[in-house]
Amino acid sequence: MTALVFRGTGDSQGVPRVYCDCAVCREARRGGVNRRLRSSLQMIDPDAGTTWIDCGPDWGRQMEAASLRDVDRMLITHAHFDHIGGLPEWYDACRWTGKTGVAYTPAEVIEEIAGRFPWLGSRIEFRTFDEPISIGQWTVKSWRVNHGKNGYAYAFAFRHEQTGFRWVYCSDAIGLTEEQQEPMIGVDLLILGASFFHEPYPIETRSVYDVTEAIELVRKLKPVRTVLTHMSHDIDMGRSGELPEGMAFAYAGMRIEC
């Protein structure tokens, strides 16, 4: 059976935020339940080993938390620092162990990463992920999603060949078109980014759904289960009772069997 383990559930700055002294950041600073590293997900598959989604700047610490020395492949959703900042560290690990890492991401993201970290290509093999790929018995497709003022990201949809189980990872999105929502309809598990509980800023300045919008979207798409990730200090785990049935906030170490 495939297991998914959340290794990071924070937004681009993580929680606590360096400059902030709000109640959630203070609780997080004391090592509490709101402590969040940058978003990433570990997928453990009996046939395909370890797949790691997104490699932010907390990747090294997340690997330690997972007691892992290596991953079999990375999937990268987009080239924002909170999703790729750990790639140079992975590169160094590959260089020292004499391995070549394998990362899948759409061609335009490969180009952006190469612009940012031009040396990675000598130790990390970037494979284009514009067409579906297979990971063990999972068929995985990527598609481009609106990321508001931050441009675009990609979401990933997984479908198991034997069981038909479907799950989606979409950490950075807002204002999805009907077409972009389509792969999420009725999935068994939707992992969706929600940065704020309720974000008061004008829509043109925003880049990720808030919890109230996520609830609306979930009502429409009707996934069996939804787990929210990519959360800022505006989200207090103490408010999980306000989520409808079938929805939950993710936390580091949260494990889901597919």
Q: Under the rule (CB under 5 A), what is the footprint of Zn ion?
A: 12, 80, 82, 172
| CA pair distance 136, 47, nearest whole angstrom | 5
What is the closest distance, in whole angstroms, from the C-beta atom of residue 165 to Zn ion in the complex? 26
What does residue 155 show for φ and ψ, rounded to 5 degrees? -115, 160
What is the closest distance, in whole angstroms, from the C-beta atom of residue 16 to Zn ion in the complex? 17
Closest CA to 67 of 94, 34, 44: 44
What is the closest distance, in whole angstroms, from the C-beta atom of residue 8 to Zn ion in the complex? 10
What is the closest distance, in whole angstroms, from the C-beta atom of residue 43 to Zn ion in the complex? 19
User: With respect to Zn ion, which residue has the nearer C-beta, 94 or 252?
Assistant: 252
- What beta strand segments (E) does 117-209 contain? 124-128, 133-135, 138-146, 152-160, 166-170, 189-193
What is the closest distance, in whole angstroms, from the C-beta atom of residue 48 to Zn ion in the complex? 25
| CA pair distance 221, 83, nearest whole angstrom | 26
| CA pair distance 208, 11, nearest whole angstrom | 9
What is the closest distance, in whole angstroms, from the C-beta atom of residue 77 to Zn ion in the complex? 8
User: With respect to Zn ion, which residue has the nearer C-beta, 86 or 165?
Assistant: 86
Query: Residue 212, SS3?
Result: helix
User: With respect to Zn ion, which residue has the nearer C-beta, 66 or 153?
Assistant: 153
What is the closest distance, in whole angstroms, from the C-beta atom of residue 250 to Zn ion in the complex? 14
Closest CA to 33 of 225, 194, 246, 239: 239
User: With respect to Zn ion, which residue has the nearer C-beta, 53 or 135?
Assistant: 53
Exposed / middle / buried, residue 162 (Cβ in 10 Å: 0-12, 13-18, 19+): exposed
User: With respect to Zn ion, which residue has the nearer C-beta, 12 or 226?
Assistant: 12
DSSP summary character for residue 204: G
**DSSP characters over 101-117:** EEEEE-HHHHHHHHHH-
User: With respect to Zn ion, which residue has the nearer C-beta, 27 or 82?
Assistant: 82
Contact (CB, 8 A) for 150 and 77? no
List C-alpha distances in Å: 169 to 13, 39, 51, 189: 20, 11, 13, 9
User: With respect to Zn ion, which residue has the nearer C-beta, 2 or 77?
Assistant: 77
Tell me which residue has its CB nearest to Zn ion.
80
